[in-house]
Structure 1
Amino acid sequence: MTAITRRAALGASLALPLAAPALKAQSLTKLRVSVIPVLDVAPLHAAIRQGYFAAEGIEIDTSTTAGGATGLPGVVAGQFRMAFTNTVSALLGIREGLDFRFAAASVRSQATPPDNMAILVRKGSGITSGKQLEGKRVASNTRNNVVWLRGMAWIDKTGGDWKKVTAVEVPFPQMADALAGGQIDAGLFSEPFVTAALQSHGDKLERIGWFIQETAPSSSIAQYVAMKEDLEKNGEVFERFARGLYKGTDWVNERLGKPELLELISGFSRVPVERLKDCGFTVYVKDVTEAEIAEVIATMTRYGLGGRFPAPSELIFRTAKA
């Protein structure tokens, strides 16, 4: 081998490590996912930051919307491969003939208080139960979702008639100001916006109930959904997504209440870390059960959202099962 040949070979060998990262980046499968800025999506962001998705050959591109229902049309249109959405909105789409399937698990409500969702009212309003909310304006981030459903159930359970309540839509980040300013009479809040509202408007607002935990403890709240056809054709991609996500779930569960988790949540929710220290957390899970889906369908039927649904066993893709 001549000196020139040796130098060329050496140069080629030195160049290989520099080329490897670019090759790896090119091989990543990109998944665009619709999300909302609540505590429930912490495992997704943890998996992105900790490199769990990258280790599975996946690059996640998130797009933030006002509510889980808002992202579902984008899944149908192919704008998103998946959407983080509440169970009720997904089931309503399925009822209307859309082939959504639960692709990965996310969260359930707490068995005992505190929970991550609460109903707040203005101090001095005299409102302490559902009975006093008849004829009043009650806000959820979107209508006919799990927040609305459990809120209406709480109104009934505490003596009111949900049909006599005026339901309005207010995004979580604007809900505290709307309540404090008198545009609404009660708000169905999700963390971190429960704690943020009480800290920023503590002289004006108060919590009167944990509306999901008090009506349906340990019940289904939200999942990641995708189209049935995509799941069946590209199941291996969704298996990799689920593995990365559930590593993020473990990371979050190991750090509940710790500074590194609060900093992560602050980053995507835009709520300062100091305001997150008193948050009530949800239950982060790694499976979707037939029993919890059946319970949601039964509750939807009681509150005017019933219809024809496939059997729960048909709605849960293998990546969302234990």
Structure 2
Amino acid sequence: MKYTPWFIRAIVILLIIIVALTSCNKDKDENKITIGEVTRSVFYAPEYVAVAQGFFEEQGLEVDIQTTAGGDKTMAALLAGSVDIALVGAETSIYVYQQGAEDPVINFAQLTQTDGTFLFARNPDGEFNWDQLKQSTFLGQRKGGMPQMAGEFTLKKHGIDPQNDLELIQNVDFANIASAFASGTGDYVQLFEPQASIFEKEGRGKVVASFGTESGHLPYTVFMTKQSYINDNKAIVQKFTNGLHKAQAWVDSHTAEEIAEVIKPYFKDIDPAILVSSVNRYKEQGTYATDPIIDEDEWNNLLDVMSAAGELKQRVDSQTIVDNSYAEQAASTK
């Protein structure tokens, strides 16, 4: 099976840039943690709740969140040491491991357990059927990223060959996908919230299906860090995971309206009603993990999705780059 090396090439280039920019800043307070998140999204609501509700602060941690747009940039920042912990798709840790990294990236706490994208139709026609996508133009996500792989996995499950049964567009940067669709590109598009709700309100079409529901549970976005960081900061990693789990329990037990109110400072330009509907859509389909443990079934489903996309060199045992000890400890603490 052919493996696409774009991800590693991008990381090498970005590493050179990041190391140059950060080489002069070596001093660090061990209780300060910098998170690099792959994007700013309602999809990551428990992360913002953990900060806003003081759950990390209760653990004696000062947490700073930086948005490092794109999986390659986020991983490069982690490997270069400009962030301590990355919030990104678990597939990125597999790509790095398969390149023989001496200091592997370890997944230690899961945030979301489903895909976060929705199938958005420009001209929905009656009751939706997946066959409607055949011969259409589909504005997808970047090749090798989890949104695109989960999308292709779902299409194949419904008997659609992404390469032959539709016109698949994959050359639009993540940040420009919504604007490309708004300008007229594609009959269907794969969108995260709140963009899907915004487009519905603007009358650009409607959500007709959920890739999260269709592709099943998997460690879609995970907090991960280098093995060397864990070795040197075991107590910090545990405290971080404890705070995260408390936020997960809070999100699970509160309404979309209450969650939206707490995370509102992170989405100042979003209509409060849109924020509520976006959170509710994710809560209804069980997107937010209720504990940080990455279980074996979820991991194997991730490998199946990657294999179906032709992006997996070989199956990687979860115990190789997953350390659930911190998550299990956090989940056992009331």
Report the counterpart of residue 320 of structure 1 in structure 2.
327
SS in 1 for 2:140: strand
- AA of the residue aligned to 2:188: A
Instruction: Tell me, yes or no, if structure 1 residue 103 matches structure 2 residue 101.
Output: no
Comparing 37-46 and 234-243, the one that deviates more? 37-46
Quick one: which of 79, 83, 99 aligns to 2:82?
79
Report the counterpart of residue 304 of structure 2 in structure 1.
298
User: Residue 78 of structure 2 contacts residue 225 of structure 2 at CA under 8 Å; is this kept in 1?
Assistant: yes
Quick one: which of 178, 182, 185 aligns to 2:184?
182
Paired with 2:174 and 2:86, the residues of 1 have a C-alpha distance of 18
Paired with 2:134 and 2:89, the residues of 1 have a C-alpha distance of 24
Instruction: Tell me, yes or no, if structure 1 residue 267 matches structure 2 residue 265.
Output: yes
SS in 1 for 2:199: helix
Superposition pairs of residues 139-218 of structure 1, within 5 angstroms? 139-140=140-141, 142-164=142-164, 165-171=168-174, 174-200=176-202, 202=203, 204-214=204-214, 216-218=215-217
Structure 1 length normalisation: TM-score? 0.79
User: Residue 219 of structure 1 contacts residue 292 of structure 1 at CA under 8 Å; is this kept in 2?
Assistant: yes
- Structure 2 gaps of 5+ residues are 1-27
Paired with 2:84 and 2:30, the residues of 1 have a C-alpha distance of 15
User: Residue 137 of structure 2 contacts residue 187 of structure 2 at CA under 8 Å; is this kept in 1?
Assistant: yes
Paired with 1:196 and 1:31, the residues of 2 have a C-alpha distance of 33
SS in 1 for 2:49: helix
Deviations 1:60-103, CA, capped at 9 Å, x for gaps: 11111333443111000001111111122332222223411112
SS in 1 for 2:62: strand
Structure 2 length normalisation: TM-score? 0.77
Paired with 2:146 and 2:110, the residues of 1 have a C-alpha distance of 15
Give the Å deviation of 1:261.
1.2
Query: Larger radius of gyration, structure 1 or 2?
Result: 1
Instruction: Tell me, yes or no, if structure 1 residue 138 matches structure 2 residue 139.
Output: yes
Paired with 1:96 and 1:193, the residues of 2 have a C-alpha distance of 35
Question: 1:78/1:85 Cα in 2 relative to 1: closer, same or farther (>3 Å)?
Answer: same
- AA of the residue aligned to 1:319: Y
SS in 2 for 1:264: helix
Instruction: Tell me, yes or no, if structure 1 residue 242 matches structure 2 residue 244.
Output: no
Deviations 1:21-71, CA, capped at 9 Å, x for gaps: xxxxx9771111011212232222112122221221211111113334431
RMSD of aligned alpha carbons? 2.6
User: Residue 217 of structure 2 contacts residue 301 of structure 2 at CA under 8 Å; is this kept in 1?
Assistant: no
Deviations 1:264-316, CA, capped at 9 Å, x for gaps: 33322342211123221123232111221122112211210111354112222
SS in 1 for 2:211: coil
- AA of the residue aligned to 1:160: I
Report the counterpart of residue 31 of structure 1 in structure 2.
33
User: Residue 143 of structure 1 contacts residue 169 of structure 1 at CA under 8 Å; is this kept in 2?
Assistant: no
Report the counterpart of residue 311 of structure 1 in structure 2.
317
User: Residue 124 of structure 2 contacts residue 206 of structure 2 at CA under 8 Å; is this kept in 1?
Assistant: no
User: Residue 120 of structure 1 contacts residue 207 of structure 1 at CA under 8 Å; is this kept in 2?
Assistant: yes
What is the identity percentage for the equivalent residue pairs of Structure 1 and Structure 2? 19
- AA of the residue aligned to 2:111: S
Paired with 2:60 and 2:172, the residues of 1 have a C-alpha distance of 38
Question: 1:75/1:34 Cα in 2 relative to 1: closer, same or farther (>3 Å)?
Answer: same
User: Residue 248 of structure 2 contacts residue 288 of structure 2 at CA under 8 Å; is this kept in 1?
Assistant: no
User: Residue 101 of structure 1 contacts residue 316 of structure 1 at CA under 8 Å; is this kept in 2?
Assistant: yes
SS in 2 for 1:220: coil
- Structure 1 gaps of 5+ residues are 1-25, 110-114
Report the counterpart of residue 62 of structure 1 in structure 2.
65
Question: 1:119/1:100 Cα in 2 relative to 1: closer, same or farther (>3 Å)?
Answer: same
Report the counterpart of residue 123 of structure 2 in structure 1.
123
User: Residue 46 of structure 2 contacts residue 288 of structure 2 at CA under 8 Å; is this kept in 1?
Assistant: no
Comparing 238-247 and 34-43, the one that deviates more? 34-43
User: Residue 95 of structure 1 contacts residue 309 of structure 1 at CA under 8 Å; is this kept in 2?
Assistant: no
